[in-house]
Structure 1
Amino acid sequence: MKMQHFFFKVLFLVGLFLMESCSAQSQLIEDELQTVTTENLKYYLYYPQDYESGDQKEFGLLLFLHGGGESGGDLEEIKKNGPPKLLVEGKQFPFLVLAPQNPYRRKWWNTEAIIKLLDSVVETNNVDKNRIYLTGLSRGGSAAWELATQYPKKFAAMAVVCGMAPLPYAHWINKKMPIWVFHGDKDKVISVDESDKMVAKLKEMNYDVRYTRYEDVGHNSWSRAYTTEELYEWFVKQKQK
């Protein structure tokens, strides 16, 4: 009988301990930790032919974000596609072109680091802050959408090529910023549905958006998009109001 009483007493104490532990764990403890993130971004910066003309003319700037295939440590990879490829081939642009490299093969772009780089380049060069343009392809196109939602007052115009779209946050994008979207309908990497739905949502909200939807084109829609001369003429016409 005494053993049975001892057994119940032990159970009671264990139960009391568990109740006290749960009570302690359920308390919210307020705390704070300051974090600092650093990123090493390699980049190319192109200057127009008349940049060193001697006057204090301000130029526009195009920020180009490459796709996943050009990520890593070899900066030469950036020259394979988009505006950097055209520059290597001899094309001239009337604005500066900033082309950073994502240092990680299998990570998304660090958009905060991109903005810090962009701000630094703008502050140290003759750049018109009202004529900063944004474009990106594939993973870089996804980052362009992200930048447009996170920094809506930064860009005068944006062109996205086959990127994943943040549909639920479409309304975060600056309604005054013109947008041009490109995508191939046979894209098996990033479905054309991403652009279809995003463009439809933007149009529903009366955004200024253009859509070039290529027929029988796969993921490599950037080959056609970036050789569209009208795209650069369109960029030059845009300025933040």
Structure 2
Amino acid sequence: MLKNIGVIGLWAIVFLNCTTHAQLIEDQQQVSVTENLRYYLYFPEPYEAEPEKEFGLLLFLHGGGESGANLDEIKKNGPPKLLAEGKQFPFLVLAPQNPHKKKFWNIQAVNQLLDSVVSRYRIDPQRIYLSGLSRGGSAAWDMAVQYPNKFAALAVVCGMAPVPYAHWLDKNMPIWVFHGADDPIISVSESDAMVAKLKEMGYDVQYNRYEGVGHDSWTKAFTTEALYSWLNEQKRAD
């Protein structure tokens, strides 16, 4: 009997110990996330010639294939490719590089970079445009959702779309979506569903759905000259 009582007593002590550690304890601590972002920044020719003028800025987020540590990789597609070929834009272009080959964009870090660039140069905060392709297109949707009061216009190419949060987007921000109908990587249904939802809610959205085009719909999208004049015309009402 004494031996059995001892075992029961020991079990009771262990049980009480577990109960104590299982309590819900309220606490808090400050955490910080840092990211090393390399980037290209393009200045239009009139920037130096017109020292009193503020300019618009396009934030461009590349796709997964250009991620990593070689900054020249981002010149393969989109506006950086056109700039490398000598194209001129009427606004600044900020093109950061996602340093992670197999991670999504850290949009909080990108937003901090954007704020830093805007504060350092003559940029009109009411004329900040956002665009991205593929993984960068997905990040562009996310940034527009998370920071709805920041962008004057949004252009997304073949990105995954956060349809359930479409109503978080600024209804006064015009949107232009591009996608290849035969995209095997990110299904065109992503853009189909997002555009349909936005139109249902009365958003200003236009859609280029390229029949017979796969994932590289960015080739046609970013050589659409009307895209850049459209961006340059936009300005936030607030």
Q: CA deviation at 1:14?
A: 4.3
Tell me the equivalent position of 1:144.
Answer: 140
Aligned to 1:217: 213
Distance in 2, Cα, partners of 1:199 & 1:181: 8
Q: What is the count of residue pairs matched by the alignment?
A: 237
**Pairing partner for 2:114 from 88, 113, 118:** 118
Q: Would you say 1:71 and 2:67 are equivalent positions?
A: yes
Task: Map 1:1-241 onto structure 2 (within 5 A).
Answer: 5-6=1-2, 8-241=4-237
TM-score by length of 1: 0.94
CA RMSD of aligned residues (A): 1.3
Which consecutive residues of structure 2, in runs of 5 or more, have no partner in the other structure? none
Range with greater deviation from structure 2 (12-21 or 144-153): 12-21
Residue by residue over 1:83-124, the C-alpha shift from the partner in whole angstroms, topping out at 9 and shown as x without a partner, is 011111111110000000011111111111111111111111
Quick check: which has more Rg, 1 or 2?
A: 1
Secondary structure in structure 1 of the residue aligned to 2:228: helix
Corresponding letter in the other structure for 2:99? P
What one-letter code is carried by the residue in structure 2 that aligns with 1:146? D
User: Quick one: distance in 2 between partners of 1:91 and 1:59?
Assistant: 17
Deviation of the 1:197 alpha carbon: 1.0
Distance in 2 (CA, whole Å) between partners of 1:233 and 1:158 is 13
Cα distance in 2 between the residues matched to 1:17 and 1:209: 65
Any stretches of 5+ residues in structure 1 without a counterpart? Answer: none
Offset, 1:37: 1.7
* SS of residue matched to 1:123: helix
Moved >4 Å (runs of 4+): none
CA distance in 2, matches of 1:223, 1:86: 11
TM-score with structure 2 setting the length? 0.95
